[in-house]
Chain A
Amino acid sequence: QVQLQESGPGLVKPSQTLSLTCTVSDDSLSSDDSYWSWIRQPAGKGLEWIGRVYNSGSTNYNPSLKSRVAMSVDTSKNQFSLRLRSVTAADTAVYYCARETVGGGDPWYYYYMDVWGKGTTVIVSS
């Protein structure tokens, strides 16, 4: 059964960089059938998609965060990572990693997030 686990500092100072890692178990980041995504949720609010990364390193980012975000994969460790620069209190949230699995077939492909990590809380505060 595929499992995802987020890890990283729970407290980040304003203006610094938030760095999180998601470790994937029982699946391979090298698979061509999946994207690997990050989503966040401020307390009491809805879900916000941050972006996704493919095994090649190709990325898609939320336009509102694009200037501050970087995602990468490390297939040797079966991990993918999120870096968010210049954080403020508005970046305080629960951060989830998720697998986006492909469905359908050529030429009509679609994706859905079928496996999620449990989430990790990141607080931005001095």
Chain B
Amino acid sequence: QSVLTQPPSASGTPGQRVTISCSGSSSNIGSNIVNWYQQFPGTAPKLLIYNNNQRPSGVPARFSGSKSGTSASLAISGLQSDDEADYYCATWDDSLSGRVFGGGTRLTVL
């Protein structure tokens, strides 16, 4: 049972816009920034979004992040088949004094 709640799956067709939600509480998302990671099967996670909505160099502008209250979202526009991966949100939890991850969302491009 993850501290942060993500839908286990999401899907879309090429070119569509997809959003993945991440729900937390006042002790984590409500008071800390959110980062997002992308993971392809058999590989290490890769930083996709940091500080709620910042993209590291090399990450396409099709990927965007937002945060409101105790929830955060990752949006992917112009969906491509290469976007098929697992996506994880992460933040710091003040009550646990530790970093927490969402359970992950598997994105399928139909």
Contact = CB atoms under 8 A, between A and B. Distances in A.
A33 to B, nearest CB: 14
B2 A46 contact: yes
Contacts, number: 63
B45 A112 contact: no
Interface of A: 37, 39, 46-49, 51-52, 60-63, 96, 103-104, 110-114, 116-119
A29 B44 CA distance: 21
Interface residues of B, number: 27
B35 A112 contact: yes
A47 B35 contact: no
B98 A96 contact: no
- Pick the most buried of A60, A96, A112: most chain B CB atoms within 10 A of its CB: A112
B67 to A, nearest CB: 12
B71 interface: no
Contact of A114 (B50, B88, B92): B50
